Every structure is written in C-alpha cells, then in structure tokens.
C-alpha cells in the first residue's frame, strides 16, 4: 500500500465577510464556505489535477496545503506535518507557484532572485548549480538571467517562477494556474518540464488549471471541485463515464438523404447536406455503428470525434447543479 503524502479529511474553510445589504449602510456579516468538507489523499510521486469552475475553492485549498491559511475544520497533513502549525518547517519541503503572483524580486535580475532563493532555502552550492542549469536549459531561461523581473513578459516571468519553485528540490510542488497567459510553445515547454520533474525527481505535483489540456497531458488522476465540495476523484477516462459524454461519428454520404434512422445505440444529431452527425455513448464501440450505417447507406467517408474534456466537465457540473437544486 502506498502511504498518503498529502491527506485531507473533511477539511473546511469558512470565510467571514461583511457585505453591504440593500441600500442601507448597515453591513451584514455572512459566511462563505469556500471549502466545504473535502477529503482526499495523494501518494508520494503522483501528479494530480485539481480543477473546477471559478470560485470553487481551488486556491483556498492550495493555501491551506502550504499552511498560509488555517482550516476552519477537518484534518490536514502534508508529509505528516500540520501545515498551518509548522508552516516554516514544512516550507523547506514544498514549492509553490501562484500563476497570478510572482515570487521573484521585481527590481532584481532573475539571476539575483535565484541567488536569494538559494540563501532562503540554504541550498548547497553544487546542487544549486545543477538545478539551476537544468531549469535554465529546460525552460529556456538562458537569455533572461540578466534581465530585471519587471522587464520580463508574463510568460517569461512564469517560467522564471517555476524554476524558482524547484531550485531547492521540493518534495511536493503546488501549481496554481501555472500556464495562465502562456503561448502554445511555452505551455508545451512547461508541461514537458513538469513531466520530467515528476518522473525523474519523483516530485509530487498538485496542479490547478483552467486549461484542461494541461490535465490531459500531465495527470492520470483528476479531482473536480465545485462549490467547495469534491464532485469527482478518479482517472481521466472515468470522467467520461461519469459525465455521460458522447462521441460523435461524422459520415459523408453520396447525396443528401433524410436523417439516418434505425442504427441501434446511436441517434442523428445534425444533418448538413450529404454530411450527418451521429452521437453515441463514449464508452460504446464505434464498430457496430459504422457497419450498420455502411450496410444501409451509400457511405463515402467517415470520421470519429472524441468528446472534448471541457464539455464532459461542463456537463458533469451542470448535472451536479441539477441534483443540488433538486435537493431541498
């Protein structure tokens, strides 16, 4: 059995906020349940995706994992340590990237920022050199080392930040939207780098993102959180089953025909001239559907479309809304 490295048991975070109510100047106290009883465990060396809509509670969870926010309830352990109680002790063992913030020093060249990071974590010289060299190479930072951070573009700064979070060989890396604002090439580079860090160093990675391609390319396991609750925790493929997603068969016929009917397990969702779209459950095989169509229709060409993960998750969250509102 693999031992859990990160362990959450019924973790909650309730914010107390004061809001203006109505037109009166009186301010009302109310509470926001940002994280509402979340339990999960992540074994050492795993790379998990942590996704959900805006305001779901992802960043709040990450902050509790780093120890800068104290949970309002439940039990939380990282490497056996209660983060908010022993924040400084844990800090040496974790790396954090908050996409919207920078850990680098605005007026200092990248290189000087790294030198400070080295001092903060007391990284031995040889290890520091090796790690920096690897980061510079894989993240293509060579030309940027002498540039003050304020002169870096968003994507350049982000790559600089990711390197800064890894110089001290953290056991776990929390990434809160690390690919926000990156171009396609930089995204690919960052993903390749993260995959390598995870597989070579065995770094445990918790990744929050709105770019589901990140998840598809990096994580075998994904957790979906909505309104502070975990609504899914499992493999990426399992998402399709839970989300009741459908694949689409696109067929080109010889000529315009009425919508294809009588193919078991499939229904025609769209017709455009000689082209027709048939939807069927993602888990089902396409072969019998293809042969049923080919038997009875003059088939010229066909293609198969996989469901977009965005749609799958959107559907799952919608059905969750439905369930929630059904319960009084």
Ligand X SMILES: Nc1ncnc2c1ncn2[C@@H]1O[C@H](COP(=O)(O)OP(=O)(O)OP(=O)(O)O)[C@@H](O)[C@H]1O
**59 touching ligand X, by CB under 6 A:** yes
Q: How far is CA 307 from the centre of its chain?
A: 18
- Rank residues 58 and 221 by Cβ distance to ligand X and give the closer one: 58
Q: Which of residues 98 and 280 has its CB atom nearest to ligand X in the complex?
A: 98
**Residue 115 interaction partner, one of Mg ion, ligand X, another protein, none, beta carbon < 5-8 Å per kind:** another protein
Q: Kindly state whether residue 59 participates in binding another protein, applying the rule CB under 8 A.
A: yes
Burial of residue 20 (CB within 10 Å: 0-12, 13-18, 19+) is: exposed
Tokens representing residue 269 in the block? 């969702």
- CA 165 from chain centre, in angstroms, equals 18
Candidates 18-26, 47-55, 264-272, 284-292; binding stretch for ligand X (CB under 6 A): 47-55
Q: Decide: is 209 part of the binding site for ligand X (CB under 6 A).
A: no
Asked if 59 touches Mg ion (CB under 5 A), the answer is yes
124 strand-pairing partners: none
Distance CA 192, CA 105 (A): 26
Cα–Cα nearest to 193, from 135, 133, 127, 129: 135
Distances (CA, A) of 63 to 4, 35, 97, 178, 257: 19, 11, 11, 15, 58
211 contacts another protein (rule: CB under 8 A) = no
Least distance CB 223 / another protein (angstroms) = 18
Q: Any contact of residue 121 with another protein (CB under 8 A)?
A: yes
Task: Round to whole Å and give the CA distance between 209 and 188.
Answer: 14
Residues 6+ apart with CB under 8 A from 80: none
Query: Which among Mg ion, ligand X, another protein, none contacts residue 98 (Cβ within 5 to 8 A by kind)?
Result: another protein
Which listed residue (17, 257, 304, 308) binds ligand X by CB under 6 A?
Answer: 17
Question: Nearer to ligand X by C-beta: 190 or 225?
Answer: 225
The DSSP symbol for 323 reads H
Select 28 or 310, whichever has its Cβ closest to Mg ion.
310
**Piece in contact with ligand X (CB under 6 A), picked from 1-9, 48-56, 122-130, 145-153:** 48-56
Say if CB 195 and CB 37 are below 8 A apart: no
Q: Would you give the binding string for another protein spanning residues 71-100, x where CB under 8 A is met?
A: -------------x--xxx-xx-x-x-x-x
Using CB under 8 A as the binding rule, whether residue 70 contacts another protein is answered as yes
Q: Closest approach of Cβ 161 to ligand X, in Å?
A: 17
What is the four-CA torsion angle of 145, 150, 155, 157, rounded to 10 degrees? 50
Please tell me what DSSP assigns to residue 152: S
- Give the shortest CB-99-to-another protein separation in angstroms: 10
* Nearest to ligand X of 57, 168 (CB atom): 57
Q: Exposed (0-12), middle (13-18) or buried (19+): which is 137, by Cβ within 10 Å?
A: exposed
Distance CA 121, CA 131 (A): 13
Residues that bind Mg ion (CB under 5 A): 59
Residues that bind another protein (CB under 8 A): 15, 59, 63, 66-70, 84, 87-89, 91-92, 94, 96, 98, 100-103, 105, 107-108, 112, 115-116, 119-122
């Amino acid at each position: 059995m693999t031992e859990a490295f990160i362990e959450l048991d019924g973790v909650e975070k309730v914010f107390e906020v004061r809001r203006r109510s109505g037109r009166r100047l009186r301010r009302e106290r109310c509470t926001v349940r940002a994280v509402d009883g979340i339990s999960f465990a992540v074994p050492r060396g795993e790379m998990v995706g942590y996704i959900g809509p805006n305001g779901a509670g992802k960043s709040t969870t990450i902050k509790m994992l780093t120890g800068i926010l104290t949970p309002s309830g439940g039990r939380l352990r990282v490497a056996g340590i209660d983060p908010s109680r022993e924040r400084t002790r844990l800090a040496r063992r974790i790396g954090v990237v908050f996409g919207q913030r920078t850990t680098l020093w605005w007026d200092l060249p990248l290189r000087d920022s790294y030198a400070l990071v080295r001092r903060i974590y007391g990284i031995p010289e040889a290890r520091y050199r090796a790690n920096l060299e690897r980061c510079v190479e894989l993240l293509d930072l060579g030309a940027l080392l002498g540039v003050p951070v304020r002169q870096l573009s968003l994507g350049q700064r982000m790559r600089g930040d990711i390197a800064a979070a890894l110089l001290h060989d953290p056991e776990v890396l929390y990434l809160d939207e690390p690919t926000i604002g990156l171009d396609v090439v930089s995204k690919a580079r960052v993903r390749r780098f993260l995959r390598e860090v995870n597989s070579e160093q065995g770094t445990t990675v918790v990744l929050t993102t709105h770019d589901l391609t990140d998840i598809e390319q990096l994580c075998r396991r994904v957790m979906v959180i909505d309104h502070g609750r975990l609504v899914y925790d499992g493999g990426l493929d399992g998402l399709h089953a839970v989300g009741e997603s459908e694949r689409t068969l696109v067929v080109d016929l010889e000529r315009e025909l009425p919508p294809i009917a009588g193919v078991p397990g499939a229904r025609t969702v769209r017709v455009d001239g000689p082209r027709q779209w048939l939807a069927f459950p993602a888990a089902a095989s396409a072969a019998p559907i293809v042969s049923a169509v080919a038997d009875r229709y003059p088939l010229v060409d066909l293609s198969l479309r996989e469901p977009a993960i965005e749609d799958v998750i959107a559907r799952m969250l919608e059905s969750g809304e439905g369930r929630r509102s059904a319960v009084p």
